[in-house]
Structure 1
Amino acid sequence: MAGPALALVYLICGLFSFFILRALGELVLHRPSSGSFVSYAREFLGEKAAYVAGWMYFINWAMTGIVDITAVALYMHYWGAFGGVPQWVFALAALTIVGTMNMIGVKWFAEMEFWFALIKVLAIVTFFGRGYSVPR
């Protein structure tokens, strides 16, 4: 139902992400640091800004992980075939899979990330193509 606006917003957000990462790359080349972007916040904005940036980054990813696990459980519970299974079972299964992926070796983790990213890109392209071909 979103039409071309979805592709336009996706393009704009991707462009902003590109510019932000490009600016961070320029900063890394200008002043190499062994720390993360928090070390740049400390150097250029001060101790308080670095403290806030570090904690906000942590909270962002902690909440994103919780929301993703909850979304997996909700999506699985949406289909009638899984209606009798409690949502916490799917949440626990997703948490176990993600936890196991993060505890294995780097080589296998990178391989799984590659295939999952490929599946995600193919799904987006398929949904865009399918959305334009469905008659209204």
Structure 2
Amino acid sequence: RSSDLGPALALVYLICGLFSFFILRALGELVLHRPSSGSFVSYAREFLGEKAAYVAGWMYFINWAMTGIVDITAVALYMHYWGAFGGVPQWVFALAALTIVGTMNMIGVKWFAEMEFWFALIKVLAIVTFLVVGTV
């Protein structure tokens, strides 16, 4: 149960955040030392070779392709399970979520950035709320 975790949950978030900070800090130093017009795949190509760059690029693509599919499936499952829409097929919710995400990606950069800001703020507030509830 998450209520039994208490402060350990905050400690885990702190440790993971610290690791993420150091990894991105190292990537930032690498970018300053050796600027490249490519992504991190270009650094894998330069330091580890063509095969490592190939694997890194495809793994990154597969990661985000699967993440999108999993998120849309999760939306459909949650709406079907928790909502008052038990009689509606799950594929309807999945199609609606896909349409919303597709529409958001086709609007202008200014509006997309504004939506990203608010969604990120909601996500941070949700994490803080879960940490507070888990501690209490």
> Under a length normalisation based on structure 1, what TM-score does the superposition of the two structures give?
0.88
TM-score (norm 2): 0.88
Q: Deviations over 1:35-72 (max 9, x none)?
A: 00000000000000000000000000001111111111
Cα separation, partners in 2 of 1:113 and 1:80, compared to 1, 3 Å? closer
- CA gap of 1:135–1:33, structure 2 versus 1, over 3 A, is closer
4+ runs deviating over 6 angstroms: none
Cα distance 1:135–1:51, how it changes in 2: closer, same or farther (>3 A)? closer
Q: Structure 1: where are the runs of 5+ without partners? A: 129-133
State the percentage of identical aligned residues.
Answer: 97
Task: Between 116-125 and 25-34, report the one with greater CA deviation.
Answer: 116-125
CA deviation vs aligned residue, 1:89-129 (integer Å, no higher than 9, x gap): 1111111111111111110000000011111111222233x
Farther off after superposition, 86-95 or 74-83 = 74-83
Q: State whether residues 7 and 135 of structure 2, in contact with CA within 8 Å, keep that contact through their aligned partners in structure 1.
A: no
Q: Within 2, Cα distance between the matches of 1:77 and 1:98?
A: 19
Quote the offset at 1:80 in angstroms: 4.7
CA RMSD after TM alignment? 1.8
Residue 118, structure 1, aligned to residue 118, structure 2 = no
User: 1:82 is paired with a residue of what secondary structure?
Assistant: coil
The number of equivalent residue pairs is 129
Unpaired runs of 5+ in structure 2?
1-5
